[in-house]
Amino acid sequence: MAERGKNKGDIRNLGKDSDVLKGAVSRRHLLAGAGASVLAASALSSAPGQASERAKGSGTRGHVIIVGGGFCGVTAARELGVLGFDVTLLEARNRLGGRTFTAEFAGEMVDMGGTWVHWLQPHVWTEIRRYNMELDETLGGVAEDIIYLDYQGKRHTTKFSKLWPTREAFEKVIATYFKDAYEIMPRPASPFADDGWVKADKYSVQDKLDSTDLSPIDKIFCDTLFTTYGGAPPEQISWVDMMRWYALTGYSGIVMNDAITRFKIKGGTKALLEKIAADTGADIRLSTPVYKISQLEKGVEVITDGGERLTADALICAIPMNVLKDVEFSPALLAAKLEASKQTHAGQATKMHIQLDKEYPIFGGWAPGGKAPMNYVLWGSAKNGHTHLITFGPSTETLDMNDQEAVEAAVRQFLPDAKVTQAFGYGWNVDPYSQGVWFASRPGQMSKFIGDMQKSQGDIHFANSDWANGWRGFIDGAIEQGIIAAQRVRQQLGA
């Protein structure tokens, strides 16, 4: 799975173009091929909180199986463990964390997946406080010196303060793009409270770029920003789903930027995940993909790819929306859940950590549209003769993260003399246990499916950030869903 051995230069991309990841290969085969290399890169490959063999359900409030060890599944395990349930957590990969993954890059620990957190994200913020985590403040998406590409690909430089001399001027651009946001979405964390957003869930980010009265540079900025946030070409992203991010941050573009790209957990997301995992008391089994989940007359049964059968009183299925279709359910998965999973959500971005051969001053890079190799270039640091960039692009179609020349050419669109010394991206889109990046709704998708995605089927409860109420597509949403699912199990078992 890892590409280290056959990479050109120091370009690394876990999961992309690997033989074992070609579609025709079964997950069972994949696991054998993928395991060792991921283990080498994984910073959370052991299982904190792992319990030794224990009598399932005896003397406890009940036995619960959790399938999927991302933030959602691990949080659910912690909640139930603390309440005295006997929990077995089955995780397909050989590490916990799911779409968060803290790994080493250029001598530092960096996050390849979920990274930034904020105090306006109530569930993750509670965990940050509970475990006394420290934050690192980063530059975020708004640098004073801007290098941007126009729709013809021509490079320009400008100053943020020249484009928008006041905070109000900047806020006006975002408020124009999300016209009537408060009326459309007055309660962004409560999707069932009103249907204004449901009615508006027919436009794409591109539709609104085309129909909103924005100056040319404001359009380039909004395109860059929401193509990046949606992690997909703008015609594939729901406009109202992006509005949700803006509404959740108090209808402020500045605060939205702070919430999305400014504050990181010191030590990476794994530092928080390890704390939660350590409190689960669960039997955590890594490298254990689940093949089938069945509702029995009483309780549930799981069959793993390895053929092992486990039974429990209840089950939390905490795997991503895009992956649900690959697990067999008996009785069958609700039709709407299956349809959503087959559609897949829009998020298909590339995220890369890139090291350059010299120190460049702080800048922010913008490029609009779904054809750009990179939409958003964030300056991370410049020290010891190198610059660290974090880049986002709309898909692997426009940037092959394995191709050093392509990566360097993409950076050179912004910094014409740039030389890439190292680059690192993870193939979330081809990893069978994510099949995409963070959740981003297609137009009309979440308004149609969210109710059904959240429904339990008998003693099987479904939880994942991909259908969270508020911060859907974020670590916060994963924790929200883990807490809700644990409470449902508690109610189901009358415990």
256 lines the binding site for ligand FAD (CB under 6 A): no
> In 3D, which of 123, 124, 460, 91 has the Cα closest to residue 282?
91
Binding mask 377-406 for ligand FAD (x = CB under 6 A): ------------------------------
Minimum distance from CB of 84 to ligand FAD (Å)? 23
Which residue in 105, 246, 428, 449 binds ligand FAD (CB under 6 A)? Answer: 428
Q: How far apart are CA 121 and CA 317, in angstroms?
A: 23
Question: Is residue 467 within 8 Å of 351, Cβ to Cβ?
Answer: no
Residue of 92, 110, 272, 415 interacting with ligand FAD (CB under 6 A) = 92
Judged by CB under 6 A, does residue 437 bind ligand FAD?
A: yes
Of 329 and 433, nearer to ligand FAD (C-beta) is: 433
| Sequence-separated (6 or more) residues with CB below 8 Å from residue 225 | 141, 366, 376
Would you count residue 290 as binding ligand FAD (CB under 6 A)? yes
31 binds ligand FAD (CB under 6 A): no
Helices (H) and strands (E) in the chain, counts: 17, 22
Smallest separation, CB 127 to ligand FAD (Å): 12
Phi, psi angle pair for 162, to nearest 5°: -80, -40
**Residues between 32 and 71 that touch ligand FAD (CB under 6 A):** 67-71
Please classify residue 255 by burial: count the beta carbons closer than 10 Å to its beta carbon, then call 0-12 exposed, 13-18 middle and 19+ buried. middle
Provide the greatest CA pair distance for the chain. 69
Q: Which is nearer to ligand FAD, 92 or 367 (CB)?
A: 92
Smallest gap from Cβ 10 to ligand FAD, in A, equals 20
Contacting range for ligand FAD; rule: CB under 6 A; set: 52-60, 81-89, 411-419, 430-438: 430-438
- 32, 13, 266, 133 alpha-carbon torsion, rounded to 10°: -40
Residue 290: phi, psi to the nearest 5? -95, 135
Q: How far apart are CA 448 and CA 143, in angstroms?
A: 38
Of the pair 172, 292, the CB lying nearest ligand FAD is at: 292
Residue 93 touches ligand FAD, criterion: CB under 6 A: yes
Q: How many residues bind ligand FAD (CB under 6 A)?
A: 39
Query: Residue 74's closest CA among 262, 244, 272, 216?
Result: 272
Question: What residue ranges bind ligand FAD (CB under 6 A)?
Answer: 67-73, 90-93, 98-100, 113-117, 289-290, 318-320, 323, 327, 351, 428, 433-434, 437-438, 464-465, 473-476, 478
